[in-house]
Amino acid sequence: MAAAPRKVAPYEPPPDEEYMSPAQLDHFRQILGEWRRELMEQVDRTVVHMQDEAANFPDPLDRATQEEELGIELRTRDRERRLILKINETLDRIDQDDYGYCETCGVEIGLRRLEARPTATQCVDCKALDELRERQLRG
Does residue 130 contact residue 122 with C-beta atoms inside 8 Å? yes
| Domain coordinates in residue numbering, the chain | 19-99, 101-139
Each as own residue / partner, the long-range contacts of residues 20-27 (CB below 8 Å, 24 or more positions apart, any chain) are: 20/97, 20/99, 20/100, 20/101, 20/108, 24/100, 24/111, 25/94, 25/99
CATH topology of domain 19-99: Four Helix Bundle (Hemerythrin (Met), subunit A) (1.20.120)
C-alpha distance across the termini of the chain, in Å: 24
Q: Could you tell me the pTM of the whole model? A: 0.81
Report the DSSP beta bridge partners of residue 101. 108
Reading the chain (139 residues) residue by residue, the pLDDT tens digits are 566 666 788 899 999 999 999 999 999 999 999 999 999 988 877 777 666 666 667 787 877 887 888 888 888 888 999 999 999 999 999 999 999 999 999 999 999 999 999 999 999 999 999 999 999 998 7
> Cα–Cα distance between 83 and 121 in angstroms, integer?
14
> Cα–Cα distance between 94 and 99 in angstroms, integer?
5
